[in-house]
Amino acid sequence: MLFLFLFLCLEGCNHTDEIIKPPPDEIPEEIPEEIPKDIPDEPEPVDYDDPDLYVEITIPEDIPDVACIPDMIEGKKGEIAGKWKLLTNNNNNADYYKPQWDIDYSCDTIIYEFLEEWRLETELSFPVEKFSPWVRTSGTLIVKSSIERFPQNVFRYEFKGNPVFHPLCGWGFTLSIEGKEYNCTVMKSVMEIFFIGTGRMFFVRIE
């Protein structure tokens, strides 16, 4: 019995508790250096005096194939004041779900008369020697018509622009009728007014 006690004591005395060591501090993963992204070169500054930026806006002054050929006169390019006769109204839209039309009004009397009441001419900061200055005019538009589709009426209009496309002035001409704006092109003898889609009204200058 004493022997067993001594044996247990010796075993107990020789027993060493296992020391639990804390885990070493976690070493953070190295953060890879950020790969620099390709930084595009800064664009060259735009030289607004570069004549290559100019695109003169023109349309053929030929009369389209219509039933009645009206007498027409020449005026000054970019001048909307005067009387214009509507020849055609078309919408050659490629969208299948939208109607297309091409109507010849040359044998009807549909006259748009622009009366100029106010005018401002401004020399632009870039060279426009071969073009007219930037013009802004306003006044009264009188529509006289022999058909119901274009009832006779009187409107206020504003016309502005220059017969050249340039980054600083955008489209050449803008015609505003009662506050609604349309792009247009005014040549010596013909004028086009563009509306939604690919539609346009084609006029000739008669007075």
pLDDT in tens, the chain (207 residues): 544 444 444 444 555 555 555 555 565 566 666 666 666 777 778 776 676 777 777 788 888 889 998 899 999 888 999 999 999 998 765 555 556 678 999 999 999 999 999 999 887 666 555 566 778 999 999 999 999 888 899 999 999 987 777 666 666 788 999 999 998 989 999 999 987 666 889 999 999
User: Are 57 and 164 in contact, with CB atoms under 8 Å apart?
Assistant: yes
Burial label, 191 (beta-carbon count in 10 A; 0-12, 13-18, 19+)? buried
Q: Give the pLDDT score at 37.
A: 64
Judge whether 131 and 151 are in contact, CB under 8 Å.
no
75-205 adopts what CATH topology? Lipocalin (2.40.128)
Nearest to 115 by CA among 88, 138, 84, 144: 138
Give the C-alpha separation, 76 to 74, whole Å. Answer: 7
pLDDT value of position 197: 63
